[in-house]
Amino acid sequence: MSGEPVLEIKNLNVDYGLGDQAVRAVRDVNLTLHRGEVLGLAGESGSGKSTLAYGLTRLLAPPGVITGGEVIYHPENAEPYDVLGLDDRGLRKFRWAETAIVFQGAMNSLNPVHKISTQLNDVLEAHEPKMSAHSRTARAREMLKLVGISPDRMDAYPHQLSGGMRQRVMIGMALILQPQVVIMDEPTTALDVVMQRQILGQLIELRERLGFSVIFITHDLSLLVEFSNRIAIMYGGRIVEEAQATALYRDSLHPYSAGLLGSFPALRGARRELTGIPGSPPDLKGMPTGCSFHPRCPKAFDPCAGNIPVLGNPDTPDGSARTVACWLHPVKQPVA
């Protein structure tokens, strides 16, 4: 699984607003997505996970600004390049063809006045202008079939489809150019639980078949434990812990991860009390000093309030495969 990288995020910083009014929503984030893996990104609302996703695809709406960092994309058979340095034309070519996104608003992601076929066709027209109209239609039908929608729904309008079908169409649309990376920003939030599992199961199946990598953003850690290879936990705009899904589930190091895991019932094993996390997410305008989690942390001690812990490999047996930013776990080697 831990093959070559396909997307490397280096020291990414994203602000909302400019100058004195600016609020930093993503702080010094380092994250690597490897070829073929599912990377889960979890955290409470306002932890910066969606902002991170919008930032690395440069879809931030004003006043969001990327204030620093690099997003290195490794194409399959070409030299890697920095997505943040692309010009408008390069960016348009990069979008969807290399990195596609499935957004959280399943109901509003499709343009209400155009047919499904038109919206699928739009992508092909923009990215593969030489393709004939006939093969475009064939490709669109094929994609719909792939996500389990009868191709005779091609001429349907979005309002004629259910929420689940719309999100399937979006997934089909995301895969139509066979991108290397698919970002899923809470793709199943607007759907019921049964539909959630169906769609995610299908997605994992498709991933095995087509071999793309996934960044899966959600606040539902239980979903991630089940569906992802690796999980990164965000808090207050920073990554506070990153580990293999199973390692994080069995033995989380950061008290915040433990808190998130304690907020939902376990699927198996003994019954336990749900704890949740006291307090509320930090105000980005007035971040606590030191570790931003310390006011809510049950295990906070002396250094927490004064110094920001760095993200790095902890001094544990599996320490080289995971990172954490917490004073409880002295860092052997910080992440660059």
Partner 1 sequence: MRYLLQRILFYVFTAWAAITINFFIPRMIPGDPVKSLLARFQGQMSTDAIDSLYVLFGLDKDASIWSQYLDYWKQLFHGDLGLSFTAFPASVSQVISDALPWTVALVGITTIISFLLGTGLGVLAGWRRGSWIDGLLPTTTFLSSVPYFWLGLLAIYLLAGPDSFFPSSGGYEPGLVPAWDQYFIPSAIQHSLLPALTILISSVSGWILSMRNMMVTVAAEDYITVAHAKGLSERRVALGYAARNALLPNVSGFALSLGFIVGGTLLVEIVFSYPGLGFLLFRAVGAKDYPLMQGIFLVITISVLVANLIADIAYLMLDPRTRKEG
| Site map (CB under 8 A) of partner 1, residues 120-139, x = contact | --xx--xx------------
154 contacts 115 by C-beta, under 8 angstroms = yes
Of the pair 76, 273, the CB lying nearest partner 1 is at 76
Which of 14, 71, 97, 214 is in the footprint of partner 1 by CB under 8 A? 97
Which of 30, 109, 121, 257 is in the footprint of partner 1 by CB under 8 A? 109
Minimum distance, C-beta of residue 255 to partner 1, in the bound complex (Å) = 35
User: CA neighbours within 13 Å on the CB side: how many for 91?
Assistant: 12
Which stretch in 115-123, 211-219, 264-272, 327-335 sits in contact with partner 1 by CB under 8 A?
115-123
163 contacts 195 by C-beta, under 8 angstroms = yes
Which stretch in 91-99, 260-268, 289-297, 322-330 sits in contact with partner 1 by CB under 8 A?
91-99
Q: Is the dihedral of CA 145, 149, 150, 152 positive or negative?
A: negative
d(CA 152, CA 136): 15
Using alpha carbons only, what angle is made at residue 319 by residues 317 and 325, rounded to the nearest 5 degrees?
Answer: 135
Which of 95, 230, 294, 329 is in the footprint of partner 1 by CB under 8 A? 95
Residue 114 interacting with partner 1 (CB under 8 A):
yes
Residue written as token pair 């058979």: 77
Q: 163-175 vs 193-210: helix axis angle to the nearest 10?
A: 10
Of the pair 103, 212, the CB lying nearest partner 1 is at 103
Strand partners, 66: 14
Question: Which spans of this chain sit near partner 1 (rule: CB under 8 A)?
Answer: 57, 59, 61, 88, 91-97, 100-101, 103, 105, 108-115, 122-123, 126-127, 157, 159-160, 170, 173
